[in-house]
Structure formats: structure tokens, C-alpha cells
Chains A and B, each alone.
Chain A
Amino acid sequence: MPHTIEKQRHIIDFTLASLLRRRGKNGALFTVYTLIVFILASVMFFTYALKEEAAQVLKGAPEIVVQRSLQGRYAPIPLEYAAKIRGIRGVMAVRPRLWGYYYDSVFLANYTIMTAESIPLPPGSIAIGHGISRMRRAYEGDTISFTGVDGKARNFTIAKILPQESQLLSADLILMNEDEYREFSGLPPGLASDLTLKVRNPKELTTIAEKIVKALPDSRPIIRNEILRTYDALFSWRGGLLIIIMSAAVLAFVIFAWDKASGLSAEEKKEIGILKAVGWETSDILFMKFWEGMTVSLTSFLAGTILAYGHIFFTSAALFAPVLKGWSVLYPVFRLTPFINPGQIATLFFLTVVPYTVTTIIPSWRAATIDPDSVLRS
């Protein structure tokens, strides 16, 4: 056994010395390879971390949200629906929510407006998200103007900028008092945007949703898991989209790697001939090529993965954020919590390292099985 280990050490030593001899060629290969792994790993890390982030945030979301549907579209819900729903067995609490969207035609951005419940706001004051503050350069104590439903501008004093930790959801958020919100948005008293429900037993969510629809046929209950599923699909779709776009780059790499790996140069063939002539077995040559492929692909894989980790979790995905986060004018500035799925890392490994290593061995097999006397005739 020590003999075999020592032999493999010699072969690895020789392989490393061989790789260093062709610095330019192997350096270019390493760079391109690393770049590909970096892109794929970045997309994977980012979409997975976003999905996890969304899941974490939605943990605190209501178990059921009830909306009203009119002509198949969303419509404000009458407050008396709350009383009816409260009467359903298993429902602990029903709370109406007021929220809507506001389009800022100057900055071409959409904001979300909600009524403040946990933050006490003096009349005429609002709280805004970091994104809006950044874009409009408006800070605590400043006055900011928005146009209401009647076309008239209203001035609000900024009482608070929402904390940055909740950027993913609050970057574009405006919080205001209920009365001011109704007056600003034109939502009549007696109506709410939707109702949120607390349910005693999570296993009964579906049953309760069915009962709500039965009692109020124009209502549309949305269970939290459905929102999670939607987020999951959305981010997977965006990640997939980016990978499709990048697939051209991946394909170019495959061609490059195949060309590099399959086309042994005359010099490499001669070297294999020399090694065989001086006593290397075919298996030794194949081991050498195996270690060569492993060295290039494994170092590129590790470098690409580490760079992608830094890119996503330290620079907040500076390169891909516009595509992956959303098509909004207001990009939230936030640092993702590192969530890594070992399954994804393994998939990336098997999709990059294994094929490359195999493609370097196959052509060497052909070269390694030729008679060593080719050296005598060179």
C-alpha cells in the first residue's frame, strides 16, 4: 500500500510539474473554467438564498389571506365579511389590511403603500422604505409630496426610515395612518384591501379556506404555502432564465474544453511515448491524465464556487441582481443570509468536474496504448 501511495504521489508531482510547464494554456483554461463555475454557482446560490430568505420572511406572514374577487379580478373586500369569517370554527382572529400601489411618474417607480399598525405616526407623517429614501433623497424630517387619487398633491413629513434589515420587503414601502390612506387612495370606509386570518390548527387551513368560499362565494382565500410556492416558482424561473442565457457561454466552454482535452498536441503525444519507453505503464499514463484533469477542474470548481460565494453573500450579487431580484426601479440593498444547499453543490460538481476529467482521459487512452517505439522513430 505505501508503495502505491508513493507511486501516486510521484505521478501527481509529475502532473503538477507538467501543468506548470504550459502556464499560458492551462491558465486560460483555468480562467474560463472558473468563470463558468462562478456564473453557475452564483445563480444557484442567489436563487436558493432568495427562496430561503422569502421563506424566512413569510414565516411571519398570515396563514390565510382573504381577498374579494369581482369579475375574476381583485376587488376591495367589505369589512362585514370579517365578522362572517370570524364565525367559522377554527378561525382565531380576522384582521383587515389596507394597502395598495402608487406609481411615481417622476422616478418611474412603483411603491407599496400600507397602513401603519405597529409604528405610531403623527398626523401628516409617513414612514418610508430605504429604497424610496435613497432614490428620492428624502430623509427623516423632510417633507415629501405624493399625488392622491383626486390628482392633488399631498405633503407628508417623513417620521421614520424603515430599518434596512427588512429591505427585501420594505425597500419600496410607504406606511401611513388609516384615515390618511383612505383619503389618499380613495378607498371608502367599510372596505379593506384584504383580510388576514389566524387559524388554530394549521392542518385545517384547507378546510377553513373551503368553508370561506362556501360562505362567501366571491372571496378568494390564499394560503401561505401557496405564496411560498409562487415565490419558489418565480425565483426558480428567473434562475433558469439566467442559466438559459448563460448556456451559450457554457456551450462555448464545453467546446473549448473538449478541444483542449480531446486534441492531444504532438508534444504531449511524444511525451507519453517517452514515458512509456522509459517504463511507465498505460495505467500510469492514465493516472497522470486523471490527476491533470482533476487538478484543473477541481481547482477551477473550488475557485469558481468561492468567488460565487463572495459575489452573492458579500457583494450582494452585484453582477446579477437586476435580473434575479426583479425588474424594479427600486432595487433593495440588502445582504443575503448564506444558505447553501449541499445537493446543488454536488450537482454542480458532477456537471463540471466529472465530465472534464473524463474527457481528458479518453484521448489519453488512445495515446497511451500506442507502442512506445514511436519515440525511437521521432
Chain B
Amino acid sequence: MIKVTQISKVYNAGRPNEFTAVREVSLTVNLGEVTVLKGPSGSGKTTLLGMLGCMVRPTSGRISLSHREITSLPERFLTQIRRETFGFIFQQFNLIKGLTALENVMAPAYPTGEKFATLRSRALETLALFNLAHKAAAKVEWLSGGEAQRVAIARALINNPAIIIADEPTAHLDTKLSHEFMAIIRQLKDDGKTILIASHDPIVYDSELMTSRIELRDGSVVTAGSLP
């Protein structure tokens, strides 16, 4: 369970361009749920996701993960939590150009020091889950949009995280690919993963897969609750 208490994030504090991205948000995300953060651009979805995923430190407030307060942890521990607990799917996919699909998928597991052969076969298995085994040796810039996103998903899953965080995952996909993405989310949900998605795409937030929805506007929660 992720519990968020009164968190705010202020960028450029004390400067003329000070900007509050998230203000005094409190919410709870239960394990096994698929939660969508809905809201227009600039509503604070990405910042909130970043704070939930230990990428951004809140300016104030507390976040606890499985009843462990993580806000005040040093950077090293936050990185470890990020690596072991969360898998990230970014809006721009954020694959590393020039490297192969396989190398991109393996990258998050390098700091774990796992044996290369084991890691490689696990990465190949993960790619095979998304019908990408034949693209393992292909450089990521040669992949189509759909393939690149599936590689990004495979990368998010390589360390077998309990929670998947996806930021506007369908923003660069056409309708067909967006539906394919949702099929993958279904699979992940069936595998028991907790999923947090920020999106303003109706294919995502109106999907029957969603178990709860948090609506944001101007950095504050407008509505939050479970979906029937």
C-alpha cells in the first residue's frame, strides 16, 4: 500500500518563477489495484507519479510504502526502492538510442550484479512475452512506435517490480496500439501487479480495467475513489 499524506511539490522555491505543481495531496493506493490519474496538462499528474515512484522528493508531506516512511530516506535507499519496487513506462519511452532492445531491457538490472547469463535469458524471456524476441538484437531506433513501447514495458518489468508506473503511455500511440497497450495492462493486472497510470486518454481512463480513479486539477485532487 502506498499512503500519501499532505504532499506538496514546489519548484524554484523562493524565486520569481516559483511554481507549485502539487499541493497538499493525500491519497491511498492499494496493492493489486489499477489506478488512473486523470486531469488536463499541467494538473500535476506527472509530478505526483514522480513522487509516488521515489523519483521526486516532495517539498512537504509524507509518503509511506508498505507502512514504511520513505520521504526522508537518503538518495541511495530511494534508488534501491525505485529499482526493486517500481517499473517505469515513460511517455517518450525513453529508450537509450544506439543500444539494442535487449541491452535496453537489461539496463535497469545491471546495478543488481545478477549473473550476466541469467539476466540475459530473463530479458529475452520478457521480450518474448511481448512477441519481441526476434527484435532483441535490433537497435531501438529501428523499432516502430508500438515495438518501442513494448520494449519500454519489458524494461519496466525486468526487475519484477510490484508496482508499475506509466506516464501518458498512449500519448504517442494510435488507437489500435493504445488498445494493444491496454491488453498488456490487463495481463499485468492478472499477474497481480499494482498499476498507476497518468493519462488524459479516454481509452485509458474509461477502461473497465481501472479499479480507482484520481482526478487532478491545478495540483490538487478534485475527486478520488474506487470505480465500480
CA distance in complex: A196, B79 (Å): 79
Contact of B79 with A376 in the complex, beta carbons under 8 Å: no
Mark interface residues in B139-165 (1 if CB within 8 Å of A CB, else 0).
Answer: 000000000000000010001000000
B25-33, B102-110, B208-216 - interface stretch? B102-110
Residues 1-38 of A contacting B (Cβ, < 8 Å): 2-7, 9-11, 13-14, 17-18, 20-22
Q: Which of B49, B75, B103, B113 contacts A376 (CB 8 A)?
A: B49
CA distance in complex: A197, B167 (Å): 92
Q: Is the interface of A mostly helix, strand, loop or mixed?
A: helix
Residues 119-150 of A contacting B (Cβ, < 8 Å): none
Residues of A within 8 A of B84 (CB): 279
Residues of A within 8 A of B167 (CB): 376
Contact of B98 with A21 in the complex, beta carbons under 8 Å: yes
Contact of A6 with B113 in the complex, beta carbons under 8 Å: yes
Q: How far is the CB of A255 from chain B (nearest CB, A)?
A: 27
By Cβ-Cβ distance, the 9 closest A-B pairs, closest first, are A279-B83, A21-B98, A7-B113, A10-B110, A3-B113, A278-B108, A373-B50, A373-B56, A6-B113
Q: Is the interface of B mostly helix, strand, loop or mixed?
A: helix
Residue A93 is within 8 A (CB to CB) of chain B in the complex: no
Besides the known contacts A284-B111, A371-B57, A376-B90, 5 further A-B residue pairs in the complex with CB atoms under 8 A apart: A7-B113, A10-B106, A10-B113, A21-B99, A281-B79
Residue B55 is within 8 A (CB to CB) of chain A in the complex: yes
Count of chain B residues near A, Cβ 8 A: 38
Q: How far is the CB of A377 from chain B (nearest CB, A)?
A: 7
A65-73, A221-229, A269-277, A308-316 - interface stretch? A269-277
Contact of A284 with B110 in the complex, beta carbons under 8 Å: yes
Q: Which residues of B contact A (CB under 8 A)?
A: 46-47, 49-50, 55-57, 75-76, 79-80, 82-84, 88, 90-92, 94, 96-99, 103, 106-108, 110-116, 119, 155, 159, 167
Q: How far is the CB of B168 from chain A (nearest CB, A)?
A: 10
Q: Which of A6, A20, A21 contacts B97 (CB 8 A)?
A: A21
Residues of A within 8 A of B155 (CB): 278
CA distance in complex: A197, B115 (Å): 74
Contact of A378 with B92 in the complex, beta carbons under 8 Å: yes
- B76, B82, B111 pick with most chain A CB within 10 angstroms: B111
Evaluate whether A274 and B55 lie within 8 angstroms (CB atoms) in the complex, with A11-B110, A284-B111, A376-B49 already known: no
Q: How far is the CB of B108 from chain A (nearest CB, A)?
A: 4
Residues 273-294 of A contacting B (Cβ, < 8 Å): 274-282, 284
Residue A372 is within 8 A (CB to CB) of chain B in the complex: yes
Instruction: Return the chain A residue nearest B79 by Cβ.
Output: A281
Contact of B55 with A277 in the complex, beta carbons under 8 Å: yes
Residues of B within 8 A of A267 (CB): 97
Q: How far is the CB of B92 from chain A (nearest CB, A)?
A: 6
Residue A375 is within 8 A (CB to CB) of chain B in the complex: yes
Residues 359-378 of A contacting B (Cβ, < 8 Å): 371-373, 375-378
Residues of A within 8 A of B111 (CB): 7, 10, 279-281, 284
